[in-house]
Amino acid sequence: MSAIATDPIPVRALNQVTYCQRLYYLQYVDCIMPTNEHVEGGLFDHRRVDAPDLKNKTRNDRGTATSRGIALSSESLGITGVLDVIEERSGEQYPVETKHGSAPHDDDGNATIWDNDAVQLCAQAMLMEEAFGQTVPRGFQFHVGSRERVPLEFTPELREKTKCAITRCRELQVLDAPPEPLPPELRHRCFGCSLAPVCLPEETLYQLGHPAPVEAEEAKPHPALTRVIPQSDDGAVLYVQEPGSSVGKRSEHLVVKKDGKEMTRVPMHAIRQVVVCGNVQVSTQALETLAANDITVSYVTGHGRFIGSFVTAPAKNVSLREAQFHMFSDPVACLELSKAVVRAKLSNQRALLMRSLRGEVEARGSHEVAARGINGLLGVIDDQKSVESVLGIEGQGAAWYFGEFGRFLKQPPTGKGFDFTTRNRRPPRDPVNALLSFAYAMLAKDSYSAVCTVGFDPYKGFFHQGRHGKPSLALDLMEEFRPVIADSVVLTLINNETLTPDDFISWRDACNLTENGRKAFFAAYEQRKSTVVTHPVYGYKMSYSRMLEVQARMLASFVRGGIPTYTGFTVR
C-alpha cells in the first residue's frame, strides 16, 4: 500500500487494535474473519441488540429511554459504528455495550472493564458527543455471562488512549505485512482467539528466534512452544462419483439423488469439502450455500485429473499476492524456496524407502544403494546455483526412488499382485501408476485449496515455473507431501490387499480405477490425511490435512517478510 486509507475505522476495530495489533491487521487489513465458539457466543448475545425490528426505535421504561442499533459516523474523528444501546435518563445520554462472557474483577473484588473494551466504549461516547452536541461523561458495559452492568468514566486519559488507537489503525493500514505477534507476557490473549490458526503466533516467534533452517534429524521442539491451532480439521470430505447423480440442498442438508431417488443426506455443518468426480451435477442453490459456508467444491474427472475448485471470493489480502509476485520473480528467492521444498521431498522419499525395505537383508542405512544415492543428493543440494539444477537434483532423486518402488509392494500368497517397473503417466498404463496418478491429483486438489485459503495466487509458483495453465504454487507445496501422503496411500491399498487387479479397468493403453476402486481409495486417502504427526520444527502434533495449511501459512509469512526462512515438512 502506498497511501493512507481515508475510510472511517469501525469502532469495534479500536477494540482489536488495543487488544492485539496483529489481530487488527489480519482482520481489518487482510480482511480475514474466521469464527469460533467465542465469536458465535457473542453473536448470540447480541441477537436482541441486532434485531432489525428494534433498530432505530426508542422505548421508554421506568423513566429510561432506550434506543438500539444506532449508526453514527464522524469525519473529524475518522471512525464509524453501530451502537448497541443508547440510554437517556434525567436528560443524560450514555452508551451501553453488550459483551459476551463474565466481567473481570479487580483485587478488591469489584467488577471492572478490560482496557480494549473501555477504548471501544469511549469511542462510542465520542461519536455521540459529536452527533448530539452533548457531553457524555460515562457509559456502561453489560456482561451477559455474569449479568453485571459495569459503569465506566470517560476520563481525559481514556479519551487520549482512544485517539492513539485511531492513529495506530491508520499506521497499520499502510504496512505490507502484519506486525510481530504479542510479547510473551501477553501471549495468553492468543488462546481462544479465532484468528490464532491464521496468525500462528508461537510458530512465527519460534522462526524469528531460529533463522537458520533445521535439519530433520537435528530438529528439537522448543520447550516453550505451545500449540494454539487445532490438531485436526473439523468435518468430513464428501465424495460424489455415481454417474448421473446430482447434489442439491434441502434445509441445512446436502442431498445426493439419482433417478429421483435419494441416495444420501449429509448435514451441512458436518462437511468441510465436497469432491465431485465425473458426471455429477451440483445445483446452483447447493453451490451458493456451500460458498456461503466456506466449503470448497473440487472437480476431478472420472480418470482422476484435477480440474479446479469452486471456492468463495478470493481472500482480500492483496498485499500477500503483491509480495508473492515480487518474490517469485526474484531468482535468488525462488532458488532458496526450491531447495527447501526439494530437500524435504528427498528426505521423505528416503524415509519411506527405508521403512518399506526394513525387512530385507541389509536394507537399512548405508547398505541400501538408493538410500545412499538420495542421501548424497541431500548433501549437494545446498551447492546448487539455479532452480534448473535443483530440478535436476529432484529428478535424480525420483529416479533412485521409483527405481526401487516395485520392491515396496508386497506380493500376496495368491500370486495375483501388482508389478511396478517404471513411472508412466498421461495416461497411466498399469494399476500402480494409475493409483499414483490418482493420488497425486487428490493431493493437488488439497494443496490448491490450502494456498487459496491462505490468499495466494495458486498459479504463480517458485519451483514449477513457466507452466501456463497449471496451479504452479499448489504443485510446489505438494512436493514435500507426495511420499508421505500420496505414495503411502498407494502402498497401504496394495500391501493390505484393499485393492485387487479387479478394481482396475484397462482400455487401449490407459488404466483407471473402477467405481468401487475409487471408493476404497477415497476412504484410505482421508484416513491418511487424518493421521496425526509431529511437526519437525514446532514439535507438536497435528493431522496431515492441517499440516498442509500450516505450511502454506508459514510460506505466506516468509513471503511477506514475517519470518526469515521457510522450512519444508519432513517426517522424523
* 181 in a structural domain: no
Q: Are residues 371 and 508 in the same domain?
A: yes
- Residue 294 phi/psi, 5° resolution? 60, 40
- The pLDDT assigned to 297 comes to 85
140 and 287 co-located in one domain: no
Tell me which amino acid residue 328 is: F
Model pLDDT, residue 122: 94
Cα distances from 313 to residues 4, 130, 250, 296, 513, in angstroms, run: 25, 37, 24, 11, 34
CATH number, domain with residue 260: 3.100.10.20
The verdict on 373 and 302 lying in the same domain is no
Q: For residues 254 and 150, give the distance between their C-alpha atoms in angstroms, rounded to a whole number.
A: 45
> CA distances (Å), 383 to each of 340, 399, 514, 564, in order?
13, 20, 46, 20
The verdict on 326 and 446 lying in the same domain is: yes
Q: Of 118, 150, 171, which residue sits at a domain end?
A: 171
* Cβ 503 vs Cβ 516: under 8 Å: yes
Residue 200 is assigned to a structural domain of this protein = no
Question: pTM of the prediction?
Answer: 0.73
Same domain for 27 and 161? yes
* 188 is a domain residue: no
Is residue 554 a part of any domain in this protein?
Answer: yes
Q: Which of 147, 171, 195 is the last residue of a domain?
A: 171
Question: In terms of domains, do 53 and 23 share one?
Answer: yes
With cell 490468499, the residue in question is 455
Based on the fold, state whether residues 473 and 338 are members of the same structural domain: yes
Q: What is the pLDDT of residues 19-55, one digit of tens each?
A: 999 999 888 888 777 654 444 444 444 445 555 555 5
Domain that holds residue 254: 236-310
The domain tally of the chain equals 3
Query: CA-CA distances (angstroms) from residue 75 to 40, 72, 117, 159, 458?
Result: 31, 10, 22, 17, 39
Give dist(CA 233, CA 231) in Å, integer: 7
Q: Which three cell numbers stand for residue 7?
A: 475510510
Region 173-181: mean pLDDT is 85
pLDDT at 132 over 50: yes
Q: What pLDDT score was predicted for residue 328?
A: 92
pLDDT tens per residue, range 481-539? 999 999 999 999 988 888 888 888 888 788 888 888 888 988 999 899 888 888 877 77
pLDDT band at 252 (very low <50, low <70, confident <90, very high): confident
329, 256: one domain: no
Q: Is 30 part of a structural domain of the chain? A: yes
How crowded is residue 48: how many other Cβ atoms within 10 Å of its Cβ?
Answer: 11
Do residues 447 and 554 both lie within one domain? yes
How far is the C-alpha of 164 from the C-alpha of 156, rounded, in Å? 12
Q: How confident is the model at residue 473 (pLDDT cuts 50, 70, 90)?
A: very high
Mean pLDDT rounded to a whole number for the chain: 82
536 lies in the same domain as 468: yes
Cβ atoms 7, 178 nearer than 8 A: no
Going by C-alpha positions, the residue among 555, 532, 448, 516 that lies closest to residue 277 is 516
Domain match, 323 and 339 both: yes
Residue 216 falls inside a structural domain? no
Please check whether residues 357 and 496 belong to one and the same domain. Answer: yes
Region of poorest pLDDT, from 157-171, 429-443, 455-469, 484-498: 455-469
How far is Cα 502 from Cα 484, in angstroms, rounded to an integer?
Answer: 26
Phi first, then psi: what are they for 17, rounded to 5°?
-70, -30
DSSP E strands: which ranges in 145-260? 148-153, 236-240, 245-250, 253-258
